[in-house]
Structures are given as structure tokens and as C-alpha cells.
Amino acid sequence: MTHPTIDPDLEELLRARLRHLAEQAPASDSEAVLETIATQQTRRPWRAALIGSAAAAALVMGWLSVAARDAIPPPSDRYTVGTARGPLPAIPDGWRWEAYHDVAVAVPDTWGYGTSGVPYCAVKDVAERTTVGRPGAVPLMGCSGGLQPDMVAVAGTFVDMSPSRDLRYRVPKVADGESTGDRTTRIVGATAIEVQARQPLRDQILATITPLPVTGANGCRRDVPLVDDPSWRPAAQRLPRPDPVTDVAVCTYDIGADGGLRAATQLPSSAIRRTVEALSSAPQGGTPDRSVCSGSYGDQVTLLRMSDTSGRTHEVVLRYAGCAHRGIDDGSTVRALTKQALADVLIGPHRAGAIGMEISDVVP
């Protein structure tokens, strides 16, 4: 029997990644290790398919890519790789901006949210699929005709954003500006954007792709300290009363060297009062650390930027991804995470990845 061969460089990258994940929790804490590797396994009906065996299978299947910083495809000449200085341009009524790390793209307001690279046969209703996808856990399964066919009729309509380095192991290879079927791929900086839609909608979406300015999108800045320093606290000030609050920007960031603004949205006006009230009424003291914990902040954090009628902005940090330092932090007081405070916040593109089992009842 001839065994499949594995690219030595790819194998080493995977081994290094698995070692890193294992170091995030003591060997005696098997639950912590599984929580780190199996993102959202407690909240997905297909969670059994997301355990560590997915990583090994991916080497053979070739569809789950591994980070490789030395092979980022070059961006198109039509885009500026650096950070844009000014605000985002105007878009048509009925459209909204979506941001991911160093890129922004506009889509119709009616679109929902999904996960980049999810197999089409795992989608309940492909005919109704119109989603913006970001990296996350996907079910390990095979679909007839491939995992993501480039036809709307088969795999639906979507904009998927992911690190461009992931294209290194894509089969077949994908280049910037390449179009196949109903799909066109663009690369801006370190981000790949795959737009799958029928014309003329596809070209309308492609025309909006732009580098994300420092000012960010939807009230969320790109250049916050949290990305490199998850211990950062906002300027100390009391949480505002609900009445003066006019809008709340929900800003989620990936933490670390490859991190950045993951998602930026505005809290619906109908949810502002109950969210501000829930934040203020949460018990003081923060959420207890896990009994066996390495002090990790996790890989994701959310910042709320609440503007009031006086023109002031109140910032609140929500920490939930690690096994320590969890809670609602307004810079002066740390409160415990509560179901009411997170219910309208950690949803859609802000949905939490890996979390501790002990807080699964308060995180949506």
C-alpha cells in the first residue's frame, strides 16, 4: 500500500501550530485543550466533526489551509496595499460596509453572516444563501462536486474574507483578479476576498473593495491597542445612563501579530437601552478565572464605543475568549459577563470562537 506523502514544510507548520495550541492549557486540563482547538463545538450541531482530527485530515484533503507567511500572493496593481488615510467612500442606500483586518467591502443590507470556506452541503438552504463570511470553524465533510463550487446555483451567493496566505494550498490554485464561474477573487494587502454572485451584482460588490482606513468602519477604528495588548483598558469613566446614548459601535478584534479589526457593526437602536442597562447592572468583580489556567486572554476581544448626546464616547472592553481576565471593563470597574449584556452584542460577525465551558451559558 502506498501512503500519501506530505509536504515537509506544511507538516512542520501544522506541528508547530498544534504545539502552540497545546501550550495554551496544561496537559492535565483536557477540557481546556479541546475548547481551544474545537471552536464553538458546544454550540454547533455538527460539533463532533470539528475535533482535532480535522487538522490531520486536512493534510490529505488539501482544503483546510495552514498559515504560511512566506508565500502571500502579490496584490493587484489596482489596489493600494497600505492603509488608506481618508474615510470610506459613499455607497448606495440599502448597502452596508463590512470590514476585515485591512480591507473593506460593501454588500446589500439584506445579507446575513456565515463562515468563510464552509462546505456548501453544510448550508441548510443554498438557494437562500447570501452571506458575508469570516474565518471560523467549519464542518469536516465531503460534498459532491467539491466543497465550494463556483456556481451560485450550487453553492449560493457570498463574500468570503480570509488571510491571503491561505490561498497557497488551494486546489486548484487561485490568483488575484481571477474569475471562474460566478466567482472572482481579489487580494488586498494580506486579505483575500472571494465574491460569488451573479452579474451585475458581482461587479457592483467588487467595485467597492478598498483598503481599510485607520478610521475603520461603522464607528470602529483599525488602530486600537487591544490587537497587540489585550490587557489594555479604556480611559476610566462611569458607564453612561441609557437615555443619552445615541449609538453603540460593536468592534471585534483578532488578537496577536496577525490580528486586526475582525468585524464592525452598529448596535440596532432597539437594542441600545437594554444593552447599556445590562452592562451597568452586571455584578462587579469580573468573571472568575478557570481553576487551571495559563492566564490567556484568548484570541478575540470586543470593544463597545458608546456615543452620547454630549459628544462623549464611552469605551467598554468585553473579554471572553481566554481562561482568565474575563469580564466587562469600563476602565474603572470590571464586571461579570452576563447573558443580558452579551445577547445583542456577540452575534452575527461578532460571534465568539473558542470559549470556556463554564461561560457557555452566558455567551450567545
Q: What residues contact residue 199 under an 8 Å CB cut-off, 6+ apart?
A: none
Comparing CA positions, the residue from 166, 169, 191, 210 lying closest to residue 75 is 191
CA 238/CA 65 separation, integer angstroms:
44
Region class of 117: left (phi > 0), else alpha (psi between -120 and 50), else beta: left
β-pairing verdict for 95-100 and 260-266: unpaired
Which residues face 193 on adjacent strands? 161, 186
Peptide bond into 92 cis (omega under 30): no
Least confident piece of the model among 135-139, 258-262, 318-322, 335-339: 135-139
Q: Is the pLDDT of residue 83 over 50?
A: no
Which residues face 305 on adjacent strands? 249, 315
pLDDT band at 85 (very low <50, low <70, confident <90, very high): low
Q: Is the pLDDT of residue 341 over 80?
A: yes
What pTM value is reported for the model? 0.77
- Say which residue, 91 or 358, is predicted with more confidence: 91
Our measurement of the distance from residue 352's CA atom to the centroid of its chain's CA atoms, rounded to an integer in Å, reads 8
pLDDT at 172: 79
Contact (CB, 8 A) for 303 and 315 = yes
pLDDT band at 147 (very low <50, low <70, confident <90, very high): confident
Grid coordinates representing 299? Answer: 484570541
pLDDT tens string 186-232: 999 999 999 999 999 999 999 999 999 999 999 999 999 999 999 99
CA 126/CA 147 separation, integer angstroms:
13
Find cell 453603540 and name the residue: 248
